[in-house]
Structures are given as structure tokens and as C-alpha cells.
Structure 1
Amino acid sequence: MAHVGVVGAGVMGAGVAQNLAHSGHRVALVDNDPDAIEKALAGIETNCRMSRLLGGPEIDAEEVLARIDSGTDLSLLADAEVVIENITENWDLKRSLYLEMDAVVRPDAVFVANTSAIPITRLASLTGRPRQFVGVHFMNPVPMKPAVELIPGHHTSPAALERVRTLLISMGKKAIDVNDACGFVSNRVLMLTVNEAACLVYENVATAETVDEVFRSCFGHPMGPLETADLIGVDTILYSIEVLYEHFADSKYRPCPLLKHMTDAGLHGRKTGEGFYSYGPSAAAAAGPSVNGHRADRSLSAN
């Protein structure tokens, strides 16, 4: 089994760490916010204990947590064979982080960017190891989703790609190969859909409930686009659509003003208790890696 570093202890990072540890790998979970680490470990424990009740496998929470070392110091990544980055879609934060990690992580280790939209080749350019740089777009909630997008950068070596594919298979994931492009397949389509759905609400064409009902009843979708936005995080939707808008310079990716307003107001969806829908005062406290979107703040844990 591999020794894997996971950077960012937000919802996605915690989900990746849980999935890896449950699969038998040693995990080093790093975040610059100790509170985020504490919340992540508590969420992992809860998810493991609740797994059987929610129709999943029986998971020994103590055994999973015993495989996870955690802390705020990047030196914990020094011996990792693969390092998976899960921070928010903010270029400046990612640039700073990769420069630091490149100096700490052993030279033969592979970097994996779990990014929603930023091109893998661009991220790889921040490091001295572009041949050992791979993109993986995990879906949320990570432990429950059977597939990921696997994206090589321009310089990614076949060996690095297969190394990551093998790791994903050990985690129970089907790797769907996608060429490098901003937003890849899933978010290039999904973010447009959610953004346009938000515009319908903003323009008073329909309520959020009506928009989602059309998608559920007419198209057979299990969730509507605005329910999905609340699950992922309204703020994360905004950050991702902003990346697409900046990259393509195409007006079709222009963020809906409602998304900006909701993000500024702290209406981020399930993780804050209110977004397009209201989830009650206990929603944010109860939210964890199995039910929630990305964290809203701009610490390492934000993704």
C-alpha cells in the first residue's frame, strides 16, 4: 500500500483521506488550519460509524483513523509517494502551495491536482516535476462516488499516469480518461447549467424549486441544478465559473450576479445551512464529507 499525502482538510480532502485510509493506504493529512483538521477527522469518524446505517459497508472507524497522520506542517509530506492537492480554486493560493510542496516532497513523488477547473498543464508549470504531475477530478462525496476524471498534463509521463490510475483502482474508482482543458468534461457542462439555472431565479423566470422540479420531473435527474449547487457549495460554483470565464474569455461563462451576492452573504448551501434552500440551524454543524460541498473559506481546507 502507498503512503499518500492529502493537502487540504476541507470536505473534498477529508473525503479523499477517508477513501484512501479505508483502502489500506497510509495518509498524511495536512492543512494550515488546525480546526479544519479536527473537523475533518471528526467527520471521517462519523462517516465510518454511519456507513452501515446508510446502506454502505461496515467500516472500522478506529482502524481508518489509525492510518491517518495529520498536522499543519508540510514536512509531513516528505516521504509521501503521491501527494493529492485539494485546496480551493484560487490560483494565487495554489501557486504558493505548489512552490512550497515542490521543495519538501521527495523528487520521485507524483503530484495530483484535485481541481474543478484549472488546466493541469498550467498547474504543473508551477513545479519542477511536470512529468510527475496528474489531474484527478474527484466527485463529491468522494467515498461514495465510483468514478473520477483522470487528466494528464502536456508533459505527464505514461508511468506517472499509470501510477495514479493504479492508486485510484485500489480506492475503488473507475478512471475516465479526459484530455486537459479548463473545466474538463464534468464542470465545463455542469457549471454552465448551474449558472444558467441561477440566472432563471435572478430574472424571476422561476423559483429555485420550480427550476429543480423541471429537471427532476421532465429529465429524470435525481437532483436539480440548484440543489446540486447547494450540495457542492454556491461559493465553489462561483469560483469554478470564474475560472472558466477567465480562461476562455467567453461571455457564456459570465457568472450570474446572484451567485456573487449569495457568496458574499454567506449563503453557500448545505454547509452554511442556507443557499437556494434552507436547511435549518443544525445543517452546517451536521455537514461532513459524506453530505457536504467544499468549505467556503480561503484556507488550505477550502477545497
Structure 2
Amino acid sequence: MKFKTFAAIDIGSNAVRMLINNIENEGGKTVFKKVAFLRVPIRLGEDTFGKGKIGGSKLYRLNEAMIGFSHIIKAYKVSEFKAYATSAMRDAANGAEVVEMIRENSGIDITIITGKEEAEIIFQAGGLHNVMDESRNYLYVDVGGGSTEIVVYSKQQKVESNSFQIGTVRMLEDAVKKEEIDFFKDWLKKAYSQYGPLIVIGSGGNINKIYKMLNEENQAPLSYQDLNELYEKLKDMSIKERIQNFQLNAYRADVIVPALKIFLTVGETCHINEFYVPKVGLADGMIYQMYSQSLKDE
């Protein structure tokens, strides 16, 4: 069977991820098959949002991870790959220096993308244009470690979008400005007044995990009440209690609470009661992007 192999590296504020997919043609249908996924919880955002730049052990681990990824890419005979960095690298004072160091040591060129570019790439990955009801309006919400990206869709067309410096790691580092929260809420109110009622399409590692915790046997959307009840259970627990009681990984146990808080803020401000979770991320979008471009180049 003929197939192409693509790899995508997502350098986020909370973790660095690499996804490798084979894209095959089965009976005239294009099939994306995941062959490998690696996640390294480096949490670059702790350095960027706490100290202003990336250094020390986090820089060392990032460098080692990227060198490792370069070997894995060769081992899997990847046809094409891309590496994108988001909020932590965007905001780091030494972001450009880090990109150059990684290029010299691993041969991997990193592109630092904007928040709006990030949201658009992720959204395309889900093929959600095909499942959106043209008569309803949607709020696409991607919550990351350093930022939250929001896109408003009306009649299956993008009508508004924005990126906010509000993310889970940034919140844990107490690095979110009050003015940014006020701007976030005001923007949401305006979006609701123009396009409400709205349905949320949620994206990001935390909402994917929340969906699995609350809704593993069911494909139905989450409700505001579902999210609020989980938030109330988790918010006063210690990290250890969250790990023990909910079988959360250590890297997820702290960030899941600020993620819930962000989604609840969206829900409360925009009177949302339906949260759809397609479970796709930036790496999925990058592979879709590379595949689409390869078809144009043929």
C-alpha cells in the first residue's frame, strides 16, 4: 500500500509533542493513521512567564528532546516534517536564540507562529466545516499553556478571532494581567451580543482529558454543569489528591484546574451549555496542512 509519512512537532508552553502519521489511500479514501506520538512535559512557560526567558534545565531538556526527535524522524523515514512553537517561545526574550541553537544542534528549523495562526491550523485539522450546522454559530476555543485562541464561526465562515495572553501555565505562574482578563470578558460579551446563541468547540490537551474523564462512553457534548461540577471537586484538592483520586498524570494535575476556569469563564460570559470536543491539536493540524500542500504540489 502506498503511503506518505509526515511528522509534526508542537513546542508548547506546557509540553513538547511529536506526532507521526502515515497517510494512506484505502479504496479511494484518504486515511490518517497515527504511528507514533511522543510528549515531553518540559513546561517552557514556567521560564518564560516567570523569568522572561528560557534557560537552565528547561533549555537543556528542549535541546535534548529536539535532537531525539531528529533521530526518530530519520528512523521512521519521514517524508516531510515541520516544527512550530507557540506562546512560550513567542514571549521569551531569547526565543530567536533558542530557535537558532536548536537548528544548529538538531537540524530542525522551528517556526514561531502567532496565536491566530495556531487557532486556524488546529481548526482545519478537525474537518469541522463539514460537521457544523450552517444555521448555528460556533465559538472555537483553544486553551494552551500560554494563551487562549478564540475564533467565531457563523454560517460556517470565520467572522471574528483573537488571541489572549491567558493560559494554564501563565495562570499558575500568576502572570496573567487583570487588564487581559477584562479584555477577554469584554471581547466574549461582544461576540455573544453579535452572534449568540453560541456553541463551543473546545481544543487543547486539558479539555481532551476533561472530556475523557466525564464522557468516555458517550459522544454527547459536555454541559456547563459537567465542567462546573468537576471544577468544584478539583479546585480545593492538593496535586497529590488529584493524582490519586482522578488518576491524573503529575503534568496534568495542576494545569487542569486553570483550564476548567477558562472554559467556565467562556461558558458563563456567553451563556454556553454545549461544549463539543473533537480531540485534535496543533500537531494534527500541521500534518493536515503538510498533506494538503503536498497535493497542490503534485
Q: Please, what TM-score do these two structures have when normalized by structure 2?
A: 0.29
* TM-score using structure 1 length: 0.28
